[in-house]
Structure 1
Amino acid sequence: MTHSARAQSGNTPYRVTLTDPQGHVWYADEPLDKGGADTAPGPLQIVLSALAACTTVTLQMYAARKQWPLTGVQVDVQLNPDGVPAAGNQITRHITLQGDLDDEQRQRLLQVAQACPVHKLLEGPVQIPTTLD
């Protein structure tokens, strides 16, 4: 499956309408102190949200396939919680698993979280060839 998205500026400074081929519509904006209207998450919040959502869904899918008693997942992510490290940006991720899981299941789910598609995208080398009209 090919994934794609489009961003289109509008009349409100820095507010962007985002769409995909499936017809979903969502928004990005900048906070007031950066000249935006603060009507939607900023682009970095959207990236962090993608990682948290992907981790949550990946864990739920894996546990369901294994018929494990996972009843809930909470994923908290933060960009550079201690400031920008010398070696580059860092995203911390804290996962809370709910359900009657044993230690082996919990450790396996931690490994599975490392394999979620957004995690792999963010960790791996990414090229962004760009054209201009």
Structure 2
Amino acid sequence: MRKVISQFGEGPLQQKLTTGDLHFLSDAYVSNGGNGTGPTPHELLGAALASCTSMTLKMYAGRKSMNLENAIVTVDIERVNDVETFSRDIQLQGKLTLEEKNRLIEIANKCPIHKALVGDIQIKTQLVD
């Protein structure tokens, strides 16, 4: 995996993000002191789960020759009492049997980001010069 680098951007809270040759932004909502110029960190986390789920479904359906035309994945994150709850809605489009749809939902739970979020996570932090 390419490393992701974040550094200060324009305005009070904007962050310039880089991974390899790709450049994108993150920011806070205006109501939270940002300028709203990019997705919030939580939105990026939701985007990681949504895009990983959709990619995983596309790859699996392709390998199994399923008629999956599109997988629309919507993720919402809500924090209540220090617990993050991810709500993931999956809309499968195409001529699929009930059996195929059920299998694809099982496969959705095997996407790497889903596995990372429900598994044990360690964050190692160090100060570097």
SS in 1 for 2:70: strand
Is residue 93 of structure 1 aligned with residue 92 of structure 2?
no
Paired with 1:60 and 1:14, the residues of 2 have a C-alpha distance of: 35
Query: By percentage of residues, which structure has more strand?
Result: 2
Q: Indicate the residue corresponding to 1:121 in structure 2.
A: 116
How many angstroms does 1:87 deviate by? Answer: 7.7
How many angstroms does 1:90 deviate by? Answer: 1.0
CA spacing shift, 1:119–1:3, aligned 2, 3 Å: farther
Residue segments in structure 1 that go unaligned for 5+ positions in a row? none
How many angstroms does 1:3 deviate by? Answer: 3.9
Paired with 2:40 and 2:99, the residues of 1 have a C-alpha distance of: 37
Residue segments in structure 2 that go unaligned for 5+ positions in a row? none
SS in 2 for 1:54: helix
Deviations 1:61-114 (A, max 9, x none): 10011111001110111112xx61x58221011100001100111111001000
Paired with 2:10 and 2:88, the residues of 1 have a C-alpha distance of: 36
> CA RMSD for the aligned pairs?
1.4
Q: Indicate the residue corresponding to 2:67 in structure 1.
A: 69
State the one-letter code of the partner of 1:6: I
How many angstroms does 1:26 deviate by? Answer: 0.8
Give TM-score, length-normalised by structure 2. 0.93
Q: Indicate the residue corresponding to 2:102 in structure 1.
A: 107
State the one-letter code of the partner of 2:27: D
